[in-house]
Structure 1
Amino acid sequence: MIIRDILETELEELIALYADYTAKENLPPLSKKRIQKIWREVERNPGVHYFVLENENRIAAACILSITPSFIRGGSGYGVIEHVVTHPDFRRQGFARALMMYTLEFAWDNDCTEVMLLSGNDAKPAHKMYRNLGFKDDQRLGFIMFRQGER
C-alpha cells in the first residue's frame, strides 16, 4: 500500500474510479480535452492535492484536499476534503481510513488549523468512519448551492 499524489498517467483510472459516483448524478463523461484542462489547473495550483492509495498496482482509493490560505486564526490555512472514493474491490479493508489519516497529516504539516469534509447524506458507513477519525458534525452548519440547471 502506497499513498501519494496522483500521476498524470493515472487520470483515466481515477475517472473510472469516480464512475460510480458520477453515474448516480447522471453527469456526462469528461472529454479528454476537459481532463487535460483540469489537470493543468491542478498542476498550477499548489493548494490542490489529489491523493491516491495504490494497492496491487491499482488505485484503491482517492480524495482531494484543497488548502486555502487565510488571514484569520493566526494566518493558518484551512483544508477541505472532497470526493473520498474507494474502489468496490477494496472496500472495508481500511484503505479509506489510511488515506484520510495521510491526508489529515498532510494538512496539519502544511499549517492548516482545521479541515472540513463534505460527504453525501446517504454515505452512512463513511460518516461513521469520519466520526471515528475525529471529525465533528455538530460544529458548523454547511450550505451548498449548485449552478442553475445542475440539480
Structure 2
Amino acid sequence: MNCDIRTREASADDAEALLTPYDFLSSDNERCPLELAKANISKISRIDGSAVLLGEINGVALTTCTLIVVPNLSRGGRPYAVIENVVTHRNHRGKGLGKAILDAACERAWNYECYKVMLSTGSTRPATLSFYESAGFEQSRTGFQKRRLPKRQEETS
C-alpha cells in the first residue's frame, strides 16, 4: 500500500475535488452538479456512521467510496453497512489506494458495530473482481436489482 495516502471523511467543501475521481467511474457517468454534490455529502454525513470517504495524496483527491450504515432489526439490532461508488483516479490505480479507502470504510463500519459490510459491483472484469477479493471481500451472495436508470456501460480498458 502507498504509505502517503491519507483517508478521511469528506465534507461538502471537498465536493469539487471528489467529482474528479467520479469522472473515471465510466465513460457514460453523468457528472453530479456541484451544489447537489455538496448537499448530498452533507445528507450522507447526517446518517449516523455514514460518510463519503476520501483518499488523497498531497491534498489531491484520488480515491473515494460511500459508506452507508443501516440500522437493523435482526442480528441483535446491530447495523450493517453498504459500500457504493468505489472509484480511483485512472492514473493512480494499482498503487493500493482503492484498498486503502475500502479498509478505511470497513474500519469505520466496525467502529459503528456493523456485523457485515456489503459491496456490489456491476463489473464482470476479472481485474475488478480480483481487486475486491484482494481487499478481503468474498463473492458469497446473489444480488438482484431493479433499475430506474439504465445500467452503466462497462469500460474495456
Q: Normalising TM by the smaller chain, what interval?
A: 0.7 to 0.9
- Structure 2 residue matching 1:112: 3-state secondary structure: coil
Structure 1 stretch displaced more, 6-15 or 67-76: 6-15
Cα offset, 1:22, TM superposition: 5.0
1:13 aligns with 2:17: yes
Structure-1 separation of matches of 2:42 and 2:135: 32
Structure-2 separation of matches of 1:5 and 1:59: 12
**Contact residue 16 and residue 34 of structure 2 kept, 8 A:** no
Higher relative contact order (CA 8 A, sep 6+): 2
Structure 1 runs (4+) greater than 4 angstroms displaced: none
Structure-1 separation of matches of 2:56 and 2:97: 9
Q: Tell me which of 103, 106, 131 is aligned to 1:104.
A: 106
Please show how residues 84-103 of structure 1 align to structure 2 within 5 Å.
Answer: 84-103=86-105
Two-structure CA RMSD over aligned residues (Å): 1.8
Please show how residues 72-87 of structure 1 align to structure 2 within 5 Å.
Answer: 72-87=74-89
Aligned letter for 2:113?
D
Please show how residues 108-147 of structure 1 align to structure 2 within 5 Å.
Answer: 108-137=110-139, 139-147=140-148
Structure-2 separation of matches of 1:22 and 1:125: 15
Name the one with the larger helix percent: 1
Structure 1, unaligned stretches of length 5 or more?
none
Structure 1 stretch displaced more, 29-38 or 89-98: 29-38
- Structure 1 residues 41 and 7, CA, compared in 2 at 3 Å: closer, same or farther? closer
**Contact residue 12 and residue 42 of structure 2 kept, 8 A:** no
Structure 2, unaligned stretches of length 5 or more?
151-157
1:61 aligns with 2:46: no
- Structure 1 residue matching 2:24: 3-state secondary structure: helix
- Structure 1 residues 85 and 142, CA, compared in 2 at 3 Å: closer, same or farther? same
Q: Name 2:47's counterpart in structure 1.
A: 45
Q: Name 2:28's counterpart in structure 1.
A: 24
Aligned residues between the structures:
146
- Structure 1 residues 9 and 33, CA, compared in 2 at 3 Å: closer, same or farther? closer
Structure-1 separation of matches of 2:33 and 2:62: 23
Cα offset, 1:124, TM superposition: 2.8
